[in-house]
Structure 1
Amino acid sequence: MTTGQLHPRPDSLPPQRGSRLSPYGGDRLLFLAEALRTFQDTGALAPSGPDLVNALAVPATSRPNRPISVLEVGAGTGVVTRRLAQVLRPGDRLHVVEANPRFAERLREDPVLAGRRPGVGLRLSACRVEELPEAAGAPGPDGGEEGDGDHGKGGGRYDVIVSGLPFTNFEPAVVRDILDLYLRLLAPGGELTYFGYLGTTMARTLTSGPRRGARHRAVVRLLRRFEATYGLGERTVWRNLPPARAYLLRSPGPYA
């Protein structure tokens, strides 16, 4: 995949079903309610817009001629999840990780996910990505996971990881551990996408004080080093609230 592929062609993704926002008119209200309740983990006041969703889902459309496995971390109300479910093909597997129980319940009830193509496996883990059995090298899912796929058992790796985690809300050590985990979970040559909002460093310093501003800058430096090592490109998405930048990275090794 090249940097240009972060700008998908109009015909490279199928049209989104349902409304422009989501199949649920209340998604934005739920997201806002959870952001006000626990902004540290939510990291935004609204779900990602369609342009950002498309940029994050692009690796799932640039793929080998075989079934692929996709991990989405921090799915929220499911705007990216639904996009992934629409572009995946029979034989593919989608593993969705969402720690917020209210968001996880919304995902369980989602009609687009329930109506995905036959043969596309779906697994939902209502936990943090660090708590996955794969993260500890355990042989399979535990009772906290549900779904119809065996995806990830036996320490299996993923071809694509899409991360919606608000990295700049976390401590640098936590971000470093998550990035290291992503590299362990990716297959050789597998691809990772994540995003960050524009202008957050100054906003965090002005609104939260110098200590949190320093923590924010430390996380940004960590991300830039990670991108310098593994990055393939980035795309600025102005038509998002707030504007954001999507990053595309690749794990070391040849892609099978």
Structure 2
Amino acid sequence: MTTEQLRPDSGSLPRNSSSRPSPYGGDRLLFLTEALRTFHDTGALAPSGPDLVNALVVPVTSRPNRPISVLEVGAGTGVVTRRLARVLRPGDRLHVVEANPRFADRLRDDPVLAARHPEVELRLSACRVEELPEATDGPGPDSQGGAGRYDVIVSGLPFTNFEPALVRQVLALYLRLLAPGGELTYFGYLGTSTARTLVSGPRRGARHRAVVRLLHRFEATYGLGERTVWRNLPPARAHLLRSPGPYA
């Protein structure tokens, strides 16, 4: 596992400058390449579209008037990360976790992330979320890495590709890492249960349905609402959840 602070580019141009190269040029090709190579961990053939990105960052755009700490898990090529970097304010912290080394390299070189406000702290961990020091030490100001708890977690993990035990572990970890009243967003693609059974056979279809039932129970306990995003490839449903306790 490697964790590093990504420093703002001291010579960065204004964010609307047309002189900067587009950060999106190779995203789709890189994403497709990695999806074909490691679909189990990537879980899609293309990055999330703008409508899905907007649904996932809702807790950050409707936030308290104080600095917040955000954890993004499974950042991929950075479509959500860039949106977060644009809306975060001075004093905010963004911790990005991405296990795929090629995606992590893409994030390190991203011009939009480099051009963020210099007072927005950005940390990148190239590992799985369950490998974070906070995952074993427990959240808090004295935990290794000093991350403390997070006000918002945005998860891009493809839960239905995982075993139910791992999904249960990750969801429990999210609850531990969230501050009381903190909010979590994640998404799932529509129509995947039938497709998984037809393509992968009954055993994987049964595993997929078990994960869906687990997610439904989690959403019934902590859910605040959901939004169906039809203008995405494929269409998806974004979920908003809140951890127990009053939000400071």
- Indicate whether the TM-score tops 0.5: yes
Pairing of 1:106-145 with structure 2 (within 5 A)? 106-137=106-137, 139-141=143-145
Change (3 A) 1:35 1:137: same
Question: Is 1:163–1:192's contact at 8 Å kept on the other side of the alignment?
Answer: yes
Matched with 1:167 is 159
Instruction: Report the 3-state secondary structure (helix = DSSP H, G, I; strand = E; otherwise coil) of the residue aligned with 2:57.
Output: helix
Question: Is 1:16–1:83's contact at 8 Å kept on the other side of the alignment?
Answer: no
Matched with 1:182 is 174
Q: Residues of 1 paired with 2:157 and 2:17: CA distance?
A: 25
AA partner of residue 144 (structure 2): G
Q: Residues of 2 paired with 1:119 and 1:58: CA distance?
A: 22
Q: Residues of 1 paired with 2:186 and 2:219: CA distance?
A: 11
Q: Residues of 2 paired with 1:54 and 1:160: CA distance?
A: 14
Pairing of 1:83-232 with structure 2 (within 5 A)? 83-137=83-137, 139-141=143-145, 152=147, 156-232=148-224
Q: TM-score, normalised by structure 1?
A: 0.86
Deviation at 1:16? 9.1
Matched with 1:9 is none
Aligned residues between the structures: 227
Change (3 A) 1:17 1:95: farther
Deviation at 1:33? 0.2
Change (3 A) 1:125 1:43: same
Matched with 2:37 is 37
Identity, % of aligned positions = 86
Coordinate RMSD, CA, aligned:
1.5
Q: Residues of 1 paired with 2:17 and 2:246: CA distance?
A: 35
Offset from partner CA, 1:172-200 (integer Å, 9 cap, x none): 00000000000000000000000000000
Which deviates more, 123-132 or 58-67? 58-67
Structure 1: tracts of 5 or more residues without a match:
1-14, 142-149
Runs of 4+ aligned residues of structure 1 deviating over 6 Å after TM superposition are 15-18
Q: TM-score, normalised by structure 2?
A: 0.89
AA partner of residue 127 (structure 1): C
Structure 2: tracts of 5 or more residues without a match:
1-14
Q: Residues of 2 paired with 1:17 and 1:250: CA distance?
A: 37
- Is 1:254 aligned to 2:246, yes or no? yes
